[in-house]
Each structure stands twice: as C-alpha cells, then as structure tokens.
Amino acid sequence: MPLTDIAVRNAKPGEKKIRLRDERGLFLEVSAGRDGKARKWWRLRYKLNGRENMLSLGVYPDVTLKDARDRRDEARRLMAQGIDPGEARKAQKVVALEDENTFERVTREWFAKFQPNWTASHGDRIIRRFELDVFPWLGSRPIREVEPQELLTVIQRIESRGAVETAHRALQNCGQVYRYAVATGRAIRDISGDLRGAIPPSKEKHHASIIEPKLIAPLLRNLDNYQGSFVVGCALRLAPLVFVRPGELRRAEWTEINLDAQEWRIPAAKMKMREQHIVPLSRQSIAIIQELHPLTGHGRYLFPSERTLSRPMSENTVNGALRRMGYSKDEMTGHGFRSMASTSLNEMGFNRDWVERQLAHAERNNIRGAYNFAEYLPDRRKMMQAWADHLDALKFKVWPTTTN
C-alpha cells in the first residue's frame, strides 16, 4: 500500500531501523538519533544490468513524499535510457566541483589571500594582467584540466604582440596560482614548470635617464622653470633630490613628513619591498616642501590630483610634464631620477651600501632586511645633503662650449 503524508509524519523509530515501503522501489528508512528523535531518509532500491543498487533521495521533512516520488520518477527515467542514476549523480558532483574550481575562481581566491602583502599598484597590475590576458581563454576551464599546451598558447599570445616581459610575468603569476591550487587540493601539479624556456628571455629594461653632468645641469634648470601646475613643478623639483620611486613620490602624505627631524618616513605598505623607508631631507628638499605646504598642507597628499584632493596625482603626471618640456621617453623618465642619483653617487665615491640602502633596493638577507630601514642613517643624511649641494653646483655651473 502506498505511503501517505500522515503515515510518513507519524512514523516512529524502533529498536532497529524500520523501512516503510511506498511504490516502485521507494521507501522511507526510519531510525533513532542519539537524542532519541526520529531520523527519516528517503531511499530508492533499483536493479540495473543485473545489479541491485540503493540511491538516497533526501531527508524528510526537507524532502516531502511528493518530492521523493518526483526524484524516484526522474531516476527511473534515467534507468529507462540505460543510465545508472547513482553514477549520474556522481558525475553531476564532479561537474559541480569543476565549476567551483575553475581557473578564474581559484586565481581570484589566491589573489584575495595574498593581495594584502602587496602594494595597491602591484596588486592592480597582477589582477589586470589576468583579466586581460588569461581569463578570457582559461578562466572558465577547470584548473585541474588545463594542459601545459593550453597555457603556452595563452602566454605566446602575449608574446606575439611584443610584450615579452609581460608574458614572463603572466607565466610567473600562473605558476603561483597553480602552486596554491596544488596546496589546496584543486590541482595535481604546477604545469607552468613545463613551459620553462618556452619563450625567449626578455631584454633587460632600463629606465631612460640623464646621467651626464653636462646634461643634468640644463635638466635641473628646466625643472625649476616648469610652466605648468605649481604642485607638479614642486614634484619635479623634489624628484631628483629624494630619488624615490615615482609611485612613492606621488603618494607622499603630509603625516609622513617630519620637518623637525628632517626626514620622510614612507610606510612599509607603500614600499615595493614592504619595508619602512627613511628619506633624509636636505635643506633644499625642506625648502620645496615648505613652499608647497600652504597650498596642499591642509589635505592628505603633498601632490594631490588636480580633480580631487582625496587622491594623489596620477602615475603619468611627472612623465607627462617631462614630455611637455621636450624630453622624450627615451631620454628621461620619472624613474630615471633614481638612475641619475645611483650612477652619480657611486661616481662621487659614496659607499655603495649607503647608496643601495637609500634606493631601497632588495635586501638579500631577509632577516637582516626586516630591521635595516634605519641602517647607515647618519651617513645617508650626510650623503643626501651632499647630493643636493652637488645638484645646486651643477645647476649653476657654466660649461665650456665644444668647438670643432
């Protein structure tokens, strides 16, 4: 006799499991839980290809009698086509798992986990690289199923447009994602390792810079005479004196400046190497900052955007100003002030370690590096003042003309 809703609702557990039969293989299994309350499961007993099997159809009351019958009927329709409903369910679970573990989903999970360790600009570049160059082709694929040749095709597509360095970085990032996927059980191995040597090495990229003293002199005079925005002009004049990275300069905040201590302390979160950096301020640097303060000192940034004080100037502002002054991208860049200082300071005989520390280059000894933001600080203070004085001397030096 078929079950009724009342019979299902009133079914009580016994000392052993009891089974209340419905029709066409469907039955309700009732047993007592540890708390003594009834636990009720819908089951379907079926036979296919001479083998008897059991399929769970859900738990009552979440699955009602009507729901259980609908699920039984769907299972029997599959059996009529020679499909084992138990195997079909397993396949559906695999598909669902693969949908969950697509390349894009795992990548975004990896990105969310590690993004706090990066500067905002670095993180933006990484996720943008994936969104533009990788996700359109691999994003929807289960990460476990991507073959090395598929990944190579994506990387070669980047290389083919001449962006060899970007191709290398994309491959490196994909390797990081795969190692994370392996560690979290979503991939078997890091397939990026198979592509080592598959694309040519990128040419070492040097930022265009003026390093000859005879050419530095007119550059400094041009910076002093910049005809554009006063804020941009101050950034241009300060850049060669402090020679920080362009992103560190444009995001400088007033709370980081201590004129009494004559220093600028850049928080670790803003630094490429994630380590606090101290920039001793020369008299010339302080003069520029004091000149700027009445205009932007009431806000957050020394060099705010022209559109809103809540954001710093854009990353292209300094380079754009250099272009308007007539310097091409092959002659001078905002990053080039670092090369200018590095080359000149070494030629002037300053201790290489002082120069490297002031440039905030990577510290090979990570343990030592965690504590060395103030390393050589007294010597660096003297060096930064000597550098500012040297630039002043160059600016006003009269160079002999060359005759043929």
Across 204-209, average pLDDT: 71
Domain of 126, CATH number, reads: 1.10.150.130
How far from 4 is each of 22, 31, 183, CA to CA, in Å?
A: 9, 19, 50
Residue numbers of the domain that contains 42: 5-94
**Statement to judge: residues 226 and 336 lie in one domain:** yes
- Do β-strands 263-266 and 277-280 pair in parallel, antiparallel, or remain unpaired? antiparallel
For 156, the token pair is 């070669």
CA distance 269 to 265: 12
For 46, the token pair is 């079926």
CA distance 39 to 60: 8
Q: How many C-alpha atoms does 221 have within 13 Å on its Cβ side?
A: 11
Residue at 403 is within a domain: no
pLDDT of 349 > 60? The answer is yes
Q: Which of 94, 113, 132 is the last residue of a domain?
A: 94
Amino acid at 222: N
**Statement to judge: residues 140 and 237 lie in one domain:** no
User: Tell me: the pLDDT tens digits for 33-77?
Assistant: 777 788 899 999 998 887 888 888 888 988 899 999 999 999 998
Across 132-161, average pLDDT: 92
Residue at 201 is within a domain: no
**Statement to judge: residues 378 and 293 lie in one domain:** yes
Residue at 401 is within a domain: no
Geometric angle at alpha carbon 182, from 178 and 185, rounded to 5°: 130
Residue at 248 is within a domain: yes
Identify whether the C-beta of residue 103 lies closer than 8 Å to the C-beta of residue 141.
yes
**Statement to judge: residues 55 and 136 lie in one domain:** no
CA distance 400 to 239: 27
Domain of 89, CATH number, reads: 3.30.160.390
**Statement to judge: residues 228 and 333 lie in one domain:** yes
pLDDT of residue 327: 93
User: Tell me: the pLDDT tens digits for 294-334?
Assistant: 999 999 999 999 888 889 999 899 999 999 999 998 899 99
pLDDT of 369 > 70? The answer is no
**Statement to judge: residues 184 and 292 lie in one domain:** no
pLDDT of residue 398: 72
Tally of domains within the chain: 3
352, exposed or middle or buried, with CB in 10 Å at 0-12, 13-18, 19+?
A: exposed
**Statement to judge: residues 253 and 301 lie in one domain:** yes
pLDDT of residue 235: 97
**Statement to judge: residues 175 and 222 lie in one domain:** no
Residue 19 pairs with which residues in a beta bridge? 29
Query: Going edge to edge, which strands form the sheet with 38-48?
Result: 18-21, 26-32, 38-48, 51-60
Residue at 151 is within a domain: yes
Residue at 59 is within a domain: yes
Q: Which of 42, 64, 94 is the last residue of a domain?
A: 94
| Strand, helix or coil for residue 70 | helix
Residue at 58 is within a domain: yes
How far from 146 is each of 126, 193, 270, 346, CA to CA, in Å?
A: 20, 13, 36, 49
How far from 387 is each of 13, 103, 383, CA to CA, in Å?
A: 89, 50, 6
User: Tell me: the pLDDT tens digits for 96-125?
Assistant: 555 578 999 999 999 999 988 887 778 888
- The secondary structure of residue 350, as a DSSP letter, is -
Q: Which of 46, 72, 94 is the last residue of a domain?
A: 94
From 152, 330, 304, select the one nearest 232 (Cα to Cα): 304
pLDDT of residue 52: 87
One-character DSSP codes across 13-27: --SS-EEEE-STTEE
306, exposed or middle or buried, with CB in 10 Å at 0-12, 13-18, 19+?
A: exposed
Domain of 364, CATH number, reads: 1.10.443.10
**Statement to judge: residues 254 and 328 lie in one domain:** yes
**Statement to judge: residues 321 and 271 lie in one domain:** yes
pLDDT of residue 1: 76
Residues, the chain: 404
Residue at 207 is within a domain: no
CA R_g for the chain: 34
**Statement to judge: residues 83 and 107 lie in one domain:** no
The catalytic residues are 245, 272, 335, 338, 361, 371
404, exposed or middle or buried, with CB in 10 Å at 0-12, 13-18, 19+?
A: exposed
In which band, very low, low, confident or very high, does the pLDDT at 174 lie, cut at 50, 70 and 90?
Answer: very high
**Statement to judge: residues 365 and 254 lie in one domain:** yes
